[in-house]
Structure 1
Amino acid sequence: MLIRSGDDWVRVESAHALWRVTGDTAEARAVLTDEVRPLVDGDVLPVRRAALRYLADMGAATEPVLAVARAVESSPRRLADSGGWRTFVQDEEIRAAAAAITRSR
């Protein structure tokens, strides 16, 4: 299956599609959760932002997902993978997804 791909984007987008088509959150959430864990350490990539957004859309906040969301919300630094004005946009996007996750609990 594509959710076991070695490519991060393929895995994340496949997990999102699997959830959208089947409505089953279990497999998709596991893949997306693995992808967002590095956000706790400030390791931000576009694919991680997408995975966090998808988890927020799913509304499936497990304890590991909540831990990541809380770490993102409490981070004192800007969470972004690029500089300039995009830093603020990306940080706000990540924090909005994290807030949606913690509110869904």
Structure 2
Amino acid sequence: MFRPAPDSKAKPGTGKLIPWRDFYQGLYAQATGFLGWTPETAWNATPTEIDRAYAAHMDKLKAIHGSADNDQPSDDPREEVSEQEVRAGLAALKRHCR
């Protein structure tokens, strides 16, 4: 219940171990930042719900805009994005939408 359920389509992970605090901060950032959920919705969602919704959102964006993943295999981008990069991306998106 405290971590996302395994995804049968996921590639085996090669990422580094991270502290639980950082893991949950990342989930919260995905829920509120990428998915646009309210804090209340994010706090009431399970890690599996956030993970599945985020993965579906990424699939949607790849379907709309294409993906470099089609040409080159790469690791899961969720493991490579720092909180600062997420915040910078959201700030740029807000500026673009105004």
Q: How does the TM-score come out when normalised to structure 1?
A: 0.22
Q: Which structure's residues are more often helix, by fraction?
A: 1
TM-score normalised by the chain length of structure 2: 0.23
Does 1 or 2 have the higher relative contact order (CA < 8 Å, sep 6+)? 2
Greater C-alpha Rg? 2
